[in-house]
Amino acid sequence: MQKFFRFTLVLIFILINSVNAQNIMTTDNLPPDSTVNRNNNSIHTEYNKTNTRRYSLAFKNNYAAENNLNDSQKYFDPVFLNYKIKNENSSDNYRMIDGTYWRSESKINNVRLYSLLGTMLAIDLIAYNMQRIVWRQNHLTGFHSINWWIDVHNYQRMDKIGHFMDAYFVSDLTAKAYRWCGLSGESSIWYGALTGWAWMLEIEISDGLFADWGFSWLDLSANTIGSGYFILQHYFPEVLGGIHPKFSYHVSPAWREKKYVKNPRAFIEDYEGMTFWLAINPHHYFPESWKKDFPKWLAPLGIAVGYGAAEIAPSPQFGKPIWYFSLDFDLRKIPIGDDSGIFRFIKSELNFLKFPMPTVRITPGNVWYGLYF
Please report the pLDDT score of residue 233 as a whole number.
92
Distances (CA, A) of 271 to 161, 265, 274: 11, 12, 5
DSSP 305-337: EEEEEES-SS-TT--EEEEEEEEEE-GGGS-SS
Residue type, 195: T
Please report the pLDDT score of residue 84 as a whole number.
31
Q: What residues contact 72, with CB distance under 8 A and at least 6 apart? A: none
Task: Report whether 347 contacts 337 (CB < 8 A).
Answer: yes
Distances (CA, A) of 92 to 27, 95, 231, 251: 11, 10, 22, 47
Query: In the chain, what are the domain boundaries?
Result: 1-22+117-241, 25-103, 242-373
Distances (CA, A) of 53 to 28, 176, 229: 10, 18, 22
Please report the pLDDT score of residue 92 as a whole number.
52
Please report the pLDDT score of residue 266 as a whole number.
81
Give me the tens of pLDDT residue by residue for the chain, a chain 373 residues long: 444 444 444 444 444 444 444 433 333 332 222 222 223 332 222 223 333 333 444 444 443 333 434 343 333 333 333 333 333 343 456 788 898 988 888 999 999 999 999 999 999 888 877 776 766 556 777 787 888 888 888 889 999 999 999 999 999 999 999 999 999 999 999 999 999 999 999 888 888 887 777 888 999 999 999 999 999 999 888 889 999 999 999 999 999 999 998 888 788 889 999 999 999 999 999 988 888 888 888 999 999 999 999 999 888 888 899 999 999 999 999 988 888 889 999 999 999 999 999 999 998 888 888 888 7
Q: How does strand 243-249 pair with strand 101-103?
A: unpaired
Please report the pLDDT score of residue 213 as a whole number.
77
- Record the pTM: 0.77
